[in-house]
Chains A and B, each alone.
Chain A
Amino acid sequence: MKHFFAIVFIVFFNSSFSQELFPNTEPASTMPKGVLGIRAILEDYKEFSQSRNQFSLRLMYGITSRWSFYAQPMVSNHHGDLLPLGFLTHTHVGNSTIFNAANIYGLQYPYTFSGIYFYSKYRLLNFDGDDRHFRVSVYGEYAYSKVAHDEAEPDLQGDNGGYGAGVILTGLKGRLAVSFTGGFIIPNSYSESRTEPYYGSYIFQTSLNYGNAIKYDLSFGYLLYPSKYESYDQSNINTYMEFIGRSYGAASVTQNGEKAEIKSPALQAGNYVEVRPGIQKIFNSNARLDLSVGLNLINRSWSHFTPLFMIGWQRYFFSLPKKTSRRPIIE
């Protein structure tokens, strides 16, 4: 393992181009002014026999050269309309969810609109040099969501409404791009009223306050091909190694006005680091195809299972003024 990191380190620092188009995190660089970008993201993981998918469509716009804005609606089969029964005691073992000792399964949910996520990033500082730069940006994020997420860990991209903010530092030298994101997430609480036929149409009210979270992500990017650029048509291959870190507080649950006893580890405070190796192909210096897989490194996420597969496709649309028509030549 030591040798592997040494080789990676040497390769990274001895080359002359680098990439920071990270598949799983945002770099401190912002979008070009007046340019529209579209990104489609499909995430997949397995929960027992169920394949859990989320499809996101991210619309991105460069308001100024320093200020970008994104809007991202999402559709997934991660959650039902209401919290699963037994969510207070459920646990995850491997890729299975155990609601009680006799009942091991992944619940089947239909695809539903899970929410919309907004993100804005402002580049505060940039130090540009020949084939290098260092940039610092701040970001804010806000999400609307009504899905019945039943774990303490908040995620504004699909699971929770709420807001967050943070700072991004991205350095680029030679073939290596390194980026750190540090931020916080304050999720909204969730509440529901359900009628329980078992108790004779008794109305059961549940309110769930998720834990606040801090995030600490570290991403490395490396240009694998080409060693020398020849034209815009030439495909580029980039590789990435991203470390996604989260630390979050415990959830609290109130049922019919009384604080419920939480037995589920998924509703308690936690932290984890996931490693997400990825590969990317750039077409015609504009469109890009990303593939990555998330694997547990330290502890585990309780809001999703691993391996977490991600496939993303993105391209920019540059608005060009229409060419003025030439005057007709009268002979």
Chain B
Amino acid sequence: MGANPYIYIMKIHYQILIFLLFWGTILSAQVASVSIGIDGLHCSACSFGTEQSLRKLDFVDNIKMDLNTHIAEVSIKAGKKVDFVALAKKVVDAGFSVRSMYVIYDFNNLSVSSNFCYDDKNLVFSFIGIKDPQVLNGKHAIHLVGSDFMTKSENKKWKLMINNSCNTSSDPTKKVYQVTL
């Protein structure tokens, strides 16, 4: 006699369930969107030009630009590798400067503290300047640190805290980003 068809179906369901759980983890641990504060902007035509510049990047899905606060909410295409330096460069290409850049990231019970290295599928986050260890679950805004992502004066404050201990030996194409909460 062959295998019990009921058990066979249950096995398939179990496999699907495992796959969905695993897939869910992949989906949840990723960049949801990026919020870019832009300096030097004034007219709506300048905001429009900056938005058009950002839209040239293939991982950009959509952009919501606040014309009064000059904050661009950039949503990312699912599964695409995000290059935050490329985003900053597009703002500069349009003739303006990055005031701040926040990554809206979907975490899955991640305990973070200063000098903690988080190895994502596509990038590495090096957490700095965190007073008390925290557990991140769900969407959190993390602040990118570095000369590409903030004003010169702000960057000076963070320069001494940079943590270079995170390595990407598993995948040299990965970029290490200094971040704080």
Binding site for B on A (CB under 8 A): 17-21, 29-35, 64-65, 123, 126, 128-133, 172, 177, 223, 228-232, 234, 236, 282, 285-286, 288, 316, 318, 320-321
Whether the pair B49, A32 counts as a contact (CB closer than 8 A) is yes
When chains A and B are docked, how far (Å) is the Cα of A292 from the Cα of B40? Answer: 27
Whether the pair A285, B52 counts as a contact (CB closer than 8 A) is no
Verify if B44 is at the interface (C-beta below 8 Å from A). yes
Verify if B10 is at the interface (C-beta below 8 Å from A). no
Excluding A18-B43, A32-B52, 5 further A-B contacts by CB distance (< 8 Å) are A19-B42, A21-B43, A128-B96, A285-B45, A286-B48
Whether the pair B52, A320 counts as a contact (CB closer than 8 A) is yes
Q: A17 and B53 in contact (CB under 8 A), knowing A31-B95, A65-B94?
A: no
Instruction: List the 6 closest pairs (A to B, CB-CB), nearest first.
Output: A128-B40, A229-B67, A318-B52, A33-B93, A285-B48, A128-B97
Name the one of B43, B53, B56 contacting A282, with C-beta atoms under 8 angstroms: B43
Closest chain A residue to B93 by CB distance? Answer: A33
Q: A129 and B40 in contact (CB under 8 A), knowing A232-B48, A286-B45, A316-B49?
A: yes
Closest chain A residue to B41 by CB distance? Answer: A131
Q: A18 and B42 in contact (CB under 8 A), knowing A285-B47, A318-B52?
A: yes
Verify if B143 is at the interface (C-beta below 8 Å from A). no
How far in angstroms is the closest Cβ of chain A from B39? 4
When chains A and B are docked, how far (Å) is the Cα of A123 from the Cα of B67? Answer: 24
Verify if B99 is at the interface (C-beta below 8 Å from A). yes
How far in angstroms is the closest Cβ of chain A from B43? 6
Verify if B175 is at the interface (C-beta below 8 Å from A). no
By a CB distance below 8 angstroms, the chain B residues around A31 are: 95
Whether the pair B95, A30 counts as a contact (CB closer than 8 A) is yes
By a CB distance below 8 angstroms, the chain B residues around A65 are: 92-95
By a CB distance below 8 angstroms, the chain B residues around A128 are: 39-40, 96-97
When chains A and B are docked, how far (Å) is the Cα of A131 from the Cα of B66? Answer: 13
When chains A and B are docked, how far (Å) is the Cα of A199 from the Cα of B44? Answer: 65
When chains A and B are docked, how far (Å) is the Cα of A269 from the Cα of B45? Answer: 42
Q: A130 and B70 in contact (CB under 8 A), knowing A21-B45, A32-B94, A288-B45?
A: yes
Whether the pair B67, A231 counts as a contact (CB closer than 8 A) is yes
Whether the pair A32, B95 counts as a contact (CB closer than 8 A) is yes
When chains A and B are docked, how far (Å) is the Cα of A227 from the Cα of B38? Answer: 20
By a CB distance below 8 angstroms, the chain A residues around B99 are: 130
When chains A and B are docked, how far (Å) is the Cα of A133 from the Cα of B94? Answer: 14
Name the one of A223, A231, A320 contacting B55, with C-beta atoms under 8 angstroms: A320
By a CB distance below 8 angstroms, the chain A residues around B169 are: none
By a CB distance below 8 angstroms, the chain A residues around B97 are: 126, 128
Q: A320 and B56 in contact (CB under 8 A), knowing A65-B94, A128-B97?
A: yes
When chains A and B are docked, how far (Å) is the Cα of A285 from the Cα of B97? Answer: 20
Q: A34 and B93 in contact (CB under 8 A), knowing A230-B67, A318-B52?
A: yes
By a CB distance below 8 angstroms, the chain B residues around A320 are: 52, 55-56
By a CB distance below 8 angstroms, the chain A residues around B41 are: 131
Verify if B173 is at the interface (C-beta below 8 Å from A). no
By a CB distance below 8 angstroms, the chain A residues around B50 are: 32
Chain B residues numbered 11-68 whose CB sits less than 8 Å from any CB in chain A: 39-45, 47-50, 52-53, 55-56, 58, 67-68
How far in angstroms is the closest Cβ of chain B from A29? 6
Whether the pair A285, B55 counts as a contact (CB closer than 8 A) is no
When chains A and B are docked, how far (Å) is the Cα of A132 from the Cα of B70? Answer: 12
By a CB distance below 8 angstroms, the chain A residues around B96 are: 128
Query: Which among B70, B93, B99 has the highest number of chain A CB atoms within 10 Å?
Result: B93
When chains A and B are docked, how far (Å) is the Cα of A231 from the Cα of B44? Answer: 8
By a CB distance below 8 angstroms, the chain B residues around A19 are: 42-43
By a CB distance below 8 angstroms, the chain B residues around A18 are: 42-43
Whether the pair A17, B42 counts as a contact (CB closer than 8 A) is yes
When chains A and B are docked, how far (Å) is the Cα of A324 from the Cα of B145? Answer: 33
